[in-house]
Amino acid sequence: MILPVCFPMQSFAQSPVGAGTPEVEFGARKMFFMLFLMLGPIKILVPFVAITSNCDRRFRRSMARRAILFSAAALAIAGLLGRTMLENFEISLPVLAMTGGIILFLVALRTVLQQSASLPDQPTELDQPPDLRLALTPLAFPTIVTPYGIAAVIVFATLAGGRKAEGLTVAAIVLLILALDWVAMIFAETILRWIGTSLQVLAVVLGVTQAALGLQVILHSLSMIAW
């Protein structure tokens, strides 16, 4: 969790609604925490173990590698297409920021409620035999690349606009999270055996923190619109 400190604290501040409009700050650290809950490894471990149960290490590595490649391609395509569409509609920066805040709040609230409602599901064997085609679905989509994760990537890519440095920051954060997903899948059984319960607690803590952060972004965006 100390990895986000390595990113420069850049902010996406260019606004199409006027030069006097207050800036929206989405630093790299905030983006990492926002995307970690949506695209991160916590939710992947149990499904991956279920899909690859009774498989050898080589098969698991191939499955993990294909899933990450499919996920990266899907996020890249979705980010480019979504950014183009939003820019063509000339949606203002405060509205985009509020959209990101709403997505973050709802996803974080969903995570907290799910964790408190029941115990995490235990890995179970699938009815169908293992197949590398499962790396695309259900592993890459919708387990790794969630619909709300795609929405968040589109928002951040649009906020970056045509600024190369900030666009590269978004791409670097997404690639870092996908790398963490790959590592988590490689060591999924060991992680669940030793720190599975701790990860559930961490998910709740992250959920509460990100719900509060989402509300903060929403309120800040409302103040920008009313400004």
Average pLDDT, the chain: 79
Question: Is-contact 168 156, C-beta < 8 A?
Answer: no
What is the length of the chain? 227
Non-local (6+) Cβ contacts of 105 within 8 A are 210, 211, 214, 215, 218
Spatial distance between the Cα atoms of 85 and 192, rounded to a whole number of angstroms: 40
Residue 10 predicted with pLDDT over 70: no
Please name the residue that has the structure tokens 């920051």.
Answer: 169
10 Å Cβ neighbour count for 166?
22
pLDDT digits (tens, 9 = 90+) for 166-224: 888 999 999 999 999 999 999 998 998 898 788 878 888 888 888 888 888 888 888 88
Spatial distance between the Cα atoms of 146 and 223, rounded to a whole number of angstroms: 30
- Write the DSSP assignment of 86-124 as a string of letters: HHHTT--HHHHHHHHHHHHHHHHHHHHHHHHHSPPPPP-
Angstrom distances, CA of residue 25 to CA of 28, 77, 78, 120, 221: 10, 25, 23, 35, 10
pLDDT digits (tens, 9 = 90+) for 117-140: 544 444 444 455 567 788 888 889
Single-letter amino acid code for the residue at 13: A
pLDDT of residue 115: 61
Single-letter amino acid code for the residue at 104: L
Residue 3 predicted with pLDDT over 60: no
Backbone angles phi, psi at 129, to 5 degrees: -65, 155
Spatial distance between the Cα atoms of 6 and 3, rounded to a whole number of angstroms: 6
